[in-house]
Amino acid sequence: MKAIVTGINGTVAPVLARTLLDAGHTVIPWNRSRVPPDSRKAVSNFICSEHPDWFFHLATGSPDWAESVAQVCARQKVKFLFTSSVSVFASAQRGPFTVDSLPQPDDAYGNYKLECEKRVCATHPDALVVRLGWQIGKTPGANHMVDYLDRTFRIESHIAASTNWYQACSFLEDTAGSLKYIMETLTAGVYHVDGNPGLNFYEIAMGLNRLLGEPWIITPSGSPVQNNLC
Ligand SMILES: NC(=O)c1ccc[n+]([C@@H]2O[C@H](COP(=O)([O-])OP(=O)(O)OC[C@H]3O[C@@H](n4cnc5c(N)ncnc54)[C@H](OP(=O)(O)O)[C@@H]3O)[C@@H](O)[C@H]2O)c1
C-alpha cells in the first residue's frame, strides 16, 4: 500500500514509517515546506497527485489542516487515520475509559485534540480516530516518557513518581504496530491504544530504569491522583 504520513519529524511518525516500510508498504512523508498545510489547493493537489491508499495524520497541526486532509481523503476514497490523545479526558475524569466515555477536556491540548476529532469525523465518515497514551521511547530527545524522566532527573537529581497515577502509555514500536494494524484491518470509529496492564507511574518508572540501565533515583509519591487508563 502507499501511505502518506504527516508529522514525520516528530516522535511517533518516524517509527510508524519504519514499521510500514518493513512491511513492504510505500511511505510518502508530508513535507510542510513543499506543501503548505494552510493552502487548501496545495493540500488537495498533493493528495490527488500522490493518490495514496492510506493517509496517516499524525502531525500536531491545526484543526483546519486536519479537516482539509480528511475532506480530500473522503472525496478520493483514501482510508484515513487521525491520531488523537487520551488527553481529551480531563485529569479529574476517572478511567479506565472506553470509547463510549464522554471526553471533557480541561486544558488547551485536550480541547485542541477533541476539536480535530470532531472535524475529522464530520468530514470523513469512515475516519479512524486513534487515541494514544503517553509514548515511551528508549532514548531521550523526543516527545515521550523516557525523555521526561531523564530531564526530570537531570534537573532535580531525583524523580518523584506517583503511586496513585495510572497513565495510559505504550512503547513507540507497539503504537506503530497498532496503527498499522488498525489501518489494515479495522473500520471507521474511535479506538484506544494503551499498553499499560495496570501499573502505576512509580512502577513504570522503576521498570524503565531497570530496562534501560539508567541511574535514575526514583522515589514514590502520592500525587497526582489520576487514572486515564483505556
Ligand atoms: N508523544 C506522545 O506521548 C503522544 C501522546 C498522545 C498522543 N500523541 C499524538 O500522536 C501524534 C504524534 O505525536 P508526536 O509525539 O510524534 O508529536 P511531536 O513529536 O510533537 O511531533 C509532531 C509533528 O507535527 C508536526 N508539527 C508540529 N507543529 C506543527 C504545526 N504548528 N503545524 C503543522 N505541523 C506541525 C511536525 O512534523 P513535520 O515537521 O514533519 O511536519 C512535528 O514533528 C500527535 O497527534 C499527538 O497528539 C502523542
Q: Compute the distance from residue 10 Cα to the ligand 1 centre, in Å.
A: 5
Please give the CATH architecture assigned to the domain spanning 2-135+169-193.
Answer: 3-Layer(aba) Sandwich (3.40)
Instruction: Please classify residue 124 by burial: count the beta carbons closer than 10 Å to its beta carbon, then call 0-12 exposed, 13-18 middle and 19+ buried.
Output: buried
Distance CA 132, CA 124 (A): 20
Degrees to nearest 5, angle at CA 186 with 174 and 204: 25
DSSP string, 152-173: HHHHHSSEEEETTEE--EEEHH
User: Counting atoms of ligand 1 from 1, which one is nearest the CA of 145?
Assistant: 3
Residue ranges per structural domain of the chain: 2-135+169-193, 136-165+198-227
Global pTM?
A: 0.98
Tens digit of each residue's pLDDT, the chain (230 residues): 999 999 999 999 999 999 999 999 999 999 999 999 999 999 999 999 999 999 999 999 999 999 999 999 999 999 999 999 999 999 999 999 999 999 999 999 999 999 999 999 999 999 999 999 999 999 999 999 999 999 999 999 999 999 999 999 999 999 999 999 999 999 999 999 999 999 999 999 999 999 999 999 999 999 999 999 99
Q: What is the pLDDT of residue 206?
A: 98
Q: Compute the distance from residue 56 Cα to the ligand 1 centre, in Å.
A: 12
In this structure, which residue's CA is closest to atom 33 in ligand 1?
61
* Ligand 1 pocket test target in 5, 12, 193 with most atoms within 8 Å of CB: 12
Question: Using an 8 Å Cβ cutoff, are 172 and 182 in contact?
Answer: no
Q: What is the pLDDT of residue 169?
A: 98
Q: Compute the distance from residue 63 Cα to the ligand 1 centre, in Å.
A: 13
CA dihedral 78, 8, 133, 111 (to 10 degrees): -80
Which residue type sits at 11? T
E strands, the chain, in order: 2-5, 26-29, 54-57, 79-85, 128-132, 134-136, 159-162, 165-166, 169-171, 189-193, 218-221, 226-227
Q: Compute the distance from residue 136 Cα to the ligand 1 centre, in Å.
A: 14
